[in-house]
Structure 1
Amino acid sequence: MAFDPQRSLREAGILGDSPAPGLEAALATLTEEEANLLISLKNRVPGLVPEVLAHSLDGGWNRPEAAQHGFEAAMLCACGLWSGSGNAEN
């Protein structure tokens, strides 16, 4: 019997009944080892990153923090210009 990563993730409570098509396609390519890794992390992640989860669950990430301080949201993607990673020579 072939391994079904989506079924495994559903049984583990990680994946809902109707995921977005892009997510569904990506999950269909997971190996058994990759799916088992996601399943094993399910209960460990909340303990490792409580502050991150707290902000994501309370709606605190509706806007980038820089935008909340008056920066234009469109300017936030210009970090490559400052770091040099957006070098036009390539």
Structure 2
Amino acid sequence: MSANSNLTTALGVLDEKLQSLQAMTEANQFLVDALREKEPVLKALDAEGARGFLRQSARARFGEDENHEEVLALLEQILAPRQSADIIPFPSR
């Protein structure tokens, strides 16, 4: 019985990994499609504006679909606002 239990556990873990991979693939495809279809709009925006535009697009596409919650969560994380810092050069001698 132990071998059967181990196999069931392994298959469960594999299924979770495959679902995560599917979510990553769908998120990637969304980004590729958005870059292809909305290139002029994205180029006209600064980095933060482009991330915001893509977040809104992702919410519009995946927000109502319970089957794509993981995809939306992944895109929200990837496209979250970022803090940046100015690089201060070392003084030269």
TM-score where L is the length of structure 1: 0.25
TM-score where L is the length of structure 2: 0.24
Larger Rg: 2
Higher normalized helix content (fraction of residues)? 2
Q: Per chain length, whose mean CA-contact separation is higher, i.e. which structure has more relative contact order (CA < 8 Å, sep 6+)?
A: 2
